[in-house]
Chains A and B, each alone.
Chain A
């Protein structure tokens, strides 16, 4: 069974204080690992897809990396508008898994001014 564990559950940072969020996963065969951002009362908003170990992707203050067991979302010099819940999800290979995403419980990030 595919599993995704995110840590920490909650993280409070000062504006400009860089940090990283962790996503550990177990999956029979990884097709893709996805990062989403979710604001209160809204649906998840896509950030990145990573496909293989060693891959990195960047967008503004965010950088996502992938190993064979985990992914990190690095936040450099965060701003208050980066406050949100960050969700990690995996998609497994194979006919039985189809295209479904298996999500972690998310990390709730608060950036104080």
Chain B
């Protein structure tokens, strides 16, 4: 079946621009996660949704980062006033909903801020 999809796959932004990254989870998956992966590093947790409720946003690095999942399916990660340090791959994952259920990852969006 279809896996997690993300769009765009690549995004180049000028410093100061706002960007929006989209995640389509696996159909029926209740939980949705966002991670940030810097070059040569492991993914780092950003935020987590259970259906439309954002249960944990402790990993968001600043108030410029905002995520939403209004209907409990598609999610958008928005970054306002992008900075060079925001350059990274942003990964989305989804799972059935129990804590140890496998998190399935999308291909990621590579963001480059010039």
Tell me the A residues contacting B by CB distance below 8 Å. Answer: 4, 31-32, 34, 36, 41-46, 49, 51, 87, 89, 91, 98-106
Across the interface, do A99 and B95 meet the contact criterion of CB distance under 8 Å? yes
A24 CB to nearest chain B CB (Å): 14
B44 within 8 A of A: yes
List residues of chain B with CB within 8 A of the CB of A105.
40-42
B107 within 8 A of A: yes
B4 within 8 A of A: yes
Give the residue of B35, B44, B105 whose beta carbon is less than 8 angstroms from that of A45: B105
Interface range on chain B (Cβ under 8 Å from partner):
20 to 34
Chain B 76-114 interface 0/1 with A at a Cβ cutoff of 8 Å (1 = within): 000000000000000101010001101111111000000
A42 CA / B41 CA spacing, docked (Å): 14
List residues of chain A with CB within 8 A of the CB of B108.
42-43
Closest residue of chain B to A47, judged by CB? B102
Across the interface, do A100 and B56 meet the contact criterion of CB distance under 8 Å? yes
List residues of chain B with CB within 8 A of the CB of A101.
33, 35, 43, 45, 103
List residues of chain B with CB within 8 A of the CB of A45.
105
A45 CA / B43 CA spacing, docked (Å): 13
